[in-house]
Amino acid sequence: EVQLVESGGGLVQPGGSLRLSCAASGFTFSSHWMHWVRQAPGKGLVWVSRINNDGSYTDYADSVKGRFTISRDNAKNTLYLQMNSLRADDTAVYYCARLGVAARVGGVDCWGQGTLVTVSS
């Protein structure tokens, strides 16, 4: 069974740092691009970042560029999001995802259960 399990969320003060992890299982992790998507309380889904299958290429939303770093360890089947200089508007549930809406076969799209990051003093 394909599974993504996030961890690392919590309460952090403005200006602080946090590292999220996403453990993947049930598929060949090293073959897939991976994404982080977030959802502020009561709001919609917002794409945050992506990384290619070998970790050599990354992209970021403008709102997090220069503050967040996505990375992966294919030997550990784990995706990471290092979040620095956190602000109140970074408060959200963070999901790791293998997006598959553009795929030509089903079963690609998969999301974790999410981890809550709260930035507050």
Partner 1 sequence: AIQMTQSPSSLSASVGDRVTITCRASQGIRDDLGWYQQKPGKAPKVLIYAASSLQSGVPSRFSGSGSGTDFTLTISSLQPEDFATYYCLQDYTYPPTFGQGTKLEIK
Q: Is 26 in the site for partner 1 (CB under 8 A)?
A: no
Q: Least distance from C-beta 3 to partner 1, angstroms?
A: 12
The Cα–Cα gap between 109 and 22 comes to: 15
Can residue 27 be called a binding residue for partner 1 (CB under 8 A)? no
Give residues 60-89 in contact with partner 1 (rule: CB under 8 A): 61
Q: Which residues pair with 34 in a beta bridge?
A: 51
Cα 28 from Cα 94, distance rounded (Å): 22
Shortest separation between residue 22's beta carbon and partner 1, angstroms:
12
Instruction: Give the span between the Cα atoms of 110 and 29, in whole angstroms.
Output: 12
* Part of the chain binding partner 1 (CB under 8 A), chosen from 10-18, 24-32, 74-82, 110-118: 110-118
